[in-house]
Structure formats: structure tokens, C-alpha cells
Chains A and B, each alone.
Chain A
Amino acid sequence: MEETSQMKRGKWWHRWMLTPRELHERGVVGLNMRNARYLLPNNPRRLYRLVDDKLQTKALAEREGLSVPETYAVIRTPRDAARLEQKLSGHEAFVIKPACGSGGKGVLVIDGRDEQGRFIKPSGAALTPDEVRHHVANILAGLFSLSGQRDCAIAEYRVRPSKVLTDISYQGAPDIRIVMLHGYPVMAMLRAATRESDGRANLHQGALGIGIDLATGRTIRAVHHGNPLLIHPDMEVGLIGIQLPQWNKILDIAVTCQEMTGLGYLGVDIMIDETLGPLMIEVNARPGLAIQLANGVGLLRRLEPVVKQHTRHPGFGHAEKIAFSQSHFGA
């Protein structure tokens, strides 16, 4: 039934593809357009290192008074790596990640320890201290860094996501991605892990992309591998209409991130901690395009008004930008 009604509305080829013209009508932005029109002109090369190195981003954010996960230790040398256990002795749960990693590569989440002193991952798997040190050594050797050069590892606070979010995520902690142009939030989504994605919030691996109404912070649509769905495949809870806490503060953090990095086009990743509230996790200078699928809206629909607004009022401040986005880009 559903299929026939779908067939009636669309053309026969819509089951497999859309023509370039149809995509353009819907305002969908492709990779080439993102790179040529938004990334290259607005993100000068020299600013990339601010966000590609998470240590620098965190330092910047702290200077601006943004809350970020507390850094427990920075591991720069193999000597540091050897003393890893001492450095982390006071902390049950922590996250180890490469300072210059991308796309969640090399992120190791530890929830606690067992009696034998092994580290427990959220999935329940146990790692020996040796295995953790090896992971750190890999990070130092640059295995996960963007250009393969030597890197350092950050051990930091493991975010305890607020209950609203753990309800819709299988194991992993969901994060919020906000894409911004010239400091205007243009689109937002929540990334929630599934059993298939193995606790990771990576859409390629089968995590859910959940679109968020910029005006209210309520979820409006969810996709799994690009296909819309209403219920979490593993948790069997509804995904639509969930109100995210402290939405205005989240938007505020995102805009501050744009101001402190100076990047024109960027994505800001934020997690909501149960007790600490929204924490800025990282800034991405090359945000992906899956956010369009999660929201069911082409990015161009939002980017073009922002460009117009920005040329008309280049001096708009923080609050004015948020107000514009919330009034124009609501669901």
C-alpha cells in the first residue's frame, strides 16, 4: 500500500535516484559544492590547525569560558604512555582520544575497571593495561591523525549523557552536531548509536541521524542509512518530538565556537552531560552532508538566506544571529 502511494507521488526513478535538477530544486548541497562554495572561501588554511588539534580547540574554548570535558592527562611521549596508569589512577571512567584525530577515529571510551585492573569498555569488553598502552602508542605514532604525522593523546572526562539522550542511544553517548555559516546556526542533528554501529555515533556505520528543529530543540525526523524511521531499531522508543534540554545554551556554545575559531563554515559537536550540562566536544572544519538527510532539508535552503543576511548585516552580533536562525530555520 505504502509503496503504491509513494509511486503515485514520485517518478519511477525516485526509488533509486534523483536527477541533478530535482536535487537542486530541493536545495541539496553536494560535496563539490560544499568544498568550492563554502569551505574554500570561508575557511582559510591557517585556521584549520585551531580545530584539527583538539588541545588548541579546548584551550581556546576555556579562554572563552565554554565548558569542555576536563582534561585528565596529555600523553605526548612514550615515557608518558608508560606511566599512563599512574596518571589516570584517580579516575574510574575516561576517554582517550588522539588530539588530531578525525571522524571519531581512535577514540577509546573506558567506563570503569574490574577486579583484575582491566579497563571496561561500554560494550562490556575488557582491555588489559597493555592493550590500552598500545592504543596510546598507536595514537602517538600518528595512526589516527589527519596527515599521519606524530600526534599526542588526550585523556579526558567521560561524559555521562543526560537520560533523555541515553534513552535513544544503544550504548554510546549521542552527540549533537550543529552546522554554522558565518556564525548563524543553519542545521542541527543528533547522532545516536545503534547495535549495528557498535556504540559509535558514525552515520556511515549505521548510527541514527536525528534532525533537530533549530527553533525549539525538538527532534523532528530520524534516518537510518538515509531511510526515514520513527522508532529506534534496538531500543524501540520513539525518536520524534523529543525535547533536548538547554537548547538555547547549546546554540550559544555553537556560535561562540564560530567566534573563537574564525572559521566561516564549520560544524560544532556538543554533548549534554547529566550534571554539567552541554559540553563542547570538538569543532569540525569539514562538516559532512548527512545532516541534510537527517533533517530532510537541503542545506542550500538555509545557506543562501544566511549569505544574504550576512552581506546585508555584516555586523550582527551573537544574539541577533541566533534569533535570525531560530525565526527563519524552524521546522
Chain B
Amino acid sequence: MNTRSKLIVAVVGLLLLGGGVAAYKVFRLGMPFWKGEQVHDWQIEARVSFLATGRAVKARLALPAAAVEQQSGQESGSLGYHYHIERELGEYTAVWAAEQREDGQSLYYRVRLPESTRSGGEPVPAAAVPVAGNPGLTGALAQAANSVVTRAKSLTQDPDSLFVVIFDQIRSGESSQEHVLLKSHYQKEFGQNAMIQLGIDLLELAGVPARIAYGVRLEEDSGRHPPVPLVEYHDGAYWKVRDPLDPGAVLDGRDLFVWHRGGGPLLDVTGGEGSQVVFTVAKERLPMSSLSDLRESPFLVSTILGLPLSERAVFRYIVLIPLGAFVVVLMRNIIGISTLGTFMPVLLALALLEIPLARGLIMFAVLIGAGLWFRFLLSRLNLLVVPRVAACVVIVTLLMMLMSVLSYRLGMSGGVQITLFPMIIIAWTIERMSLIWEEEGKQSALTQVAGSLVVAVLAFLFMKIGQIQYWAFYFPELLLVLLAGILLIGRYTGYRLSELFRFKTFADT
């Protein structure tokens, strides 16, 4: 078989395989092929981790009643653990139990929620009217707390308004003597959640029963984050949950989901140390039914949907890299743009995905410009190559820090995503550019950098398309189709667009 027919076989095979799996998913499993405007669901994953001490382990994680009762696609992952859901007085708890465990353990619980304005923090009637407790403050602390409460109560008697007044005072950094005293005491006593505990105790002193609750912020990009502490209080008839950082507002179910209320502990681990729970949130665009079909289908391994959410989040970017590589192939072999380093533009494009385009380009230009200047200073020292590039990395790092401080000072919020900017690549780019500058002249160096930038921006624009992202993530088998395309370009023997201009003087011959 000659190379040509081998190529055809490979391309057809890839097209059939990739297209076939995709078609199966669309037509048999009912996965929507187009991204469309369909509402998405939220997937929330709780990850419990602790260090087991070698004895029997039992971990209890409070679950949101709303989600459990809706039967909305919940599951748990935990190798070797016995798992069940315990129900007690309308409250649900996930229980994992195992004998003799050692070292780090992680348990997963995943639940799926439809997007809605309901946060789970809506008023619920109390079974019995609760009585406000006494925080048990003594001496000067009790006096200070009492005078704060009396002042608040002189403003209003209504529990809702009291909540707002008290938390506004705490939040706005009220600097009366009493507040300073109370704050420093609570800071020592409770640490992280000190301000919330202070507010709860003040509410209780004012005769409003209050307790801590926990929520999850519905933001896809924030990665793993700890539960958001909230406050639940009783207004005389109902228990209500509010965010102490925004006391005046009713919780918006589009931003925040109340995971646990009712006063009990969120997480309780026996037989383990240093336990903590973190949440990962992701949008899920597939309908519930097709998702469960997909999980049972033989393509389970081929899809990333079976992975824990936190790992899945990484794949959102990883699946985009081949798309960027494809753009580079297209630009180099069909258009004929020369770039500095083959795949440098892809990394640059990935960085651009995280930063607004204009700012990313300005940053790149400033980094390259300043880096080149330093590089020419360094070249007077006659350094060897590797130390010189390393010196460049240091300079680039410092420049980036300087730039993020500057952009913050100038009021450009959002900061600069330092980690994602490929610093080593930039340092190498500077090194290679300065070499080309010296060897082939500045024009050649500038055209190559400009070429890299153009390719990077095109790759970025391509990877930015929502439909493309959707296909790459939900139909990763379509990457095989992309591969077929790359193979075909790999055998393209026609002219590059740039060559049509390069050889224009042949018109006379």
C-alpha cells in the first residue's frame, strides 16, 4: 500500500470513528449537537478530605434537602467506603464508613441542580418557636455587647432590620470602643468565622435566634473553594438565610446555593484529622436523561463526563489545545505566516483566554519590549546561554509582578492572571527574538513576532467560539475529525498563500 492510500484509509477511518461516535451520541443518546440557548444545570461537587488515623472512619456530610428530595442526579464517589444517605427530621446526611483507613482520604458527593432563582435559603416555618440563646459573655465583653445591642434595638425592633443593622455595623468596620473590643476577642476565639459568630451572638442577645449556615457560590471559574458561611435567623415565624456580607439582600439562587441550614455541623469526621470540605461548581448543558444514558453507554471511557468535577474543569482547557494547534498548522502550511517557535502562539492564545484580549496583547508587547531591552543589556555581560535565559525568566517574572501591581493601582480590576502567562515561553521568545534581531535584522524579528501574535489571536478567537468549546468538551471524539484534517493538511503540496506574493516576479518569465 503506498502512502497515499494509507493516508486515505487513515483519514476515512478517523472520520468514521469520530463522526460515528458523535452521531451515536446525538441520535441514540439524544445529546444536543448544537450548543443552543438551552438552560443549563449546575453540577456541584463536594469533596471531603481528611487524614485517616488508622482506625475505623466515619464521615458525615450534611446535604441540601432540596436537592436530595428532587432526585436530581446525585452520586457519590468513594472507593472502599460504605455509603448511604441518612434521613432525620427532614434533614439529609451523607454517611461514609470504612474500617481501618490510613493517610489522605477523599470522598466525593455530586449533585445536579436546575438553574433557578431559588437558592434554598427561602423562609421555612420553624417546627417549634425557638428561643434565643445566651452567648455567655462576661464582664467587659458582656457590657460592650449589651450596649451595642441596646443601640441597635433603639433604631429598630424588627428582626430583619436588626440583622441588617448589626451586620452592617460589623462589616463597615465600625470603630466604636465596644466593637473593637468584641472584634479582637472573637478574632482570638473563633479565627476565620469570627465576624459571623460575633453577629450571631449579638442577634441572640437582641432576642433573635440565629445560627450559622453554609452555601456554595455558583461560579464556574473559581475552582475549588470552601463553603461560604451564611447566617440563618428566626424572624418570629420563619427561619431565613442571608449573606452577612450583603445583609440587605435576599439570596439570589443564580449566584448562591444554600447547601446546609438548620444549625447542625456541615461535616463531621470521626477517625480522621484535618477534615475539610471544598466545593467545585460546573455548568452542565446536557439534559439529565442523555447524561445517564451516556454514563451507561460503552463510551464511558471516551467521555470526560465521568470524571470528578474538579478534574473535568482542567479538561475544559486541555481539549482546546488541539484546536489551537490546528490553527497553527493552518496558518503555517496553508497561509505561510512564520512564527517564533512552532507552538508558542497556542500557549499565548491559552493565556489570552483568561485575560481580556486588549490587555493581554498590551501585556505581551510590554513584556517582550522590556524583556528585549534587558536582554540587550545582559548581552554586554557575555553570559552563557542557559544562565542568560534564566536571567530573562527572572526579569520577566518581576516585570509581570510590577505590571499586576500597576494595573491594580490604576484601578483595572480583575488583576492579571500571572500563573497562566507562559513565562518560560516568553523568556525563550525574547531570547530567540534577540538572536534573530542580531543575525537577520530587526525587520525579520519583528515580522516573526507579529506573525506569532496574529496566529495567537486567530487561535484565541477560534478557541473562544462557544460552539467550538461545546463540541470539544462534550464531543471529544470530534478531535479525531480534527486529526483527520491535520493529516490532510500534512500532505498538502500546493502553494502557501504567502508564496503567491513571494514568487510574483515569475510573471515576467
Contacts and interface: CB of A to CB of B under 8 A. Distances in A.
Interface in B322-371: 333, 336
B88 interface: no
Given A20-B500, A32-B494, A205-B444, 5 more contacts: A18-B504, A23-B503, A33-B495, A293-B506, A296-B509
B505 A293 contact: yes
A223 B385 contact: no
Contact of A26 (B435, B439, B506): B506
30 contacts: A6-B508, A9-B508, A10-B508, A14-B504, A15-B504, A16-B504, A17-B504, A20-B495, A23-B495, A23-B503, A26-B509, A28-B495, A30-B494, A30-B495, A30-B496, A31-B496, A32-B493, A32-B495, A33-B493, A33-B494, A37-B493, A134-B382, A143-B385, A226-B502, A228-B505, A228-B508, A292-B503, A292-B506, A296-B506, A296-B508
Contact of A142 (B385, B441, B492, B496): B385
B172 to A, nearest CB: 58
A211 to B, nearest CB: 11
B202 to A, nearest CB: 66
B495 to A, nearest CB: 4
A29 to B, nearest CB: 9
A150 to B, nearest CB: 10
Interface string A1-42: 000001001110011111110111010101111001100000
Contacts of A19: 500
A43 interface: no
B499 A30 contact: yes
Q: Looking at chain B, what size class is its interface with the partner chain?
A: 20 to 34
A28 B502 CA distance: 11
Contacts of A26: 506, 509
Top 10 nearest A-B pairs (CB, nearest first) are: A14-B507, A141-B385, A134-B382, A30-B495, A33-B493, A17-B500, A296-B509, A36-B493, A10-B507, A30-B499
B237 to A, nearest CB: 74
A137 interface: yes
Contacts of B500: 17-20, 23
Interface of A: 6, 9-11, 14-20, 22-24, 26, 28, 30-33, 36-37, 105, 130-131, 134, 137-138, 141-143, 202, 204-205, 223, 226-228, 292-293, 296-298
Contacts, number: 95
Contact of A141 (B384, B435, B439): B384
B509 A202 contact: no
Interface of B: 333, 336, 382, 384-386, 435, 439-441, 444, 491-496, 499-509
Contacts of B501: 16-17
Contacts of A131: 382
Contacts of B496: 30-32
B385 A18 contact: no
Given A30-B499, A31-B496, A298 B440 contact: no
A18 B444 contact: no
Given A30-B494, A143-B435, A22 B499 contact: no
A130 B503 contact: no
Given A28-B503, A32-B494, A36-B493, A138 B385 contact: yes
Contacts of B439: 105
Given A137-B384, A143-B435, A205-B440, A18 B506 contact: yes
A131 B382 CA distance: 8
B335 to A, nearest CB: 12
B506 A32 contact: no
A18 B503 contact: yes
A26 B507 CA distance: 9
Contacts of A297: 509
Nearest to B333: A32
Q: Which of A18, A24, A228 has the most CB of B within 10 A?
A: A18
A138 B384 contact: yes
A33 B439 CA distance: 28
B230 to A, nearest CB: 55
Nearest to A19: B500
A23 B499 contact: yes
Contacts of B507: 10-11, 14, 18, 22
Contacts of B506: 18, 22-23, 26, 28, 292-293, 296, 298
B432 to A, nearest CB: 10
A204 B494 contact: no
B503 A293 contact: yes
Contacts of B503: 18, 23, 28, 226, 292-293
B492 A32 contact: yes
A46 B491 CA distance: 22
A130 B491 CA distance: 49
A204 B491 contact: no
Nearest to B506: A26
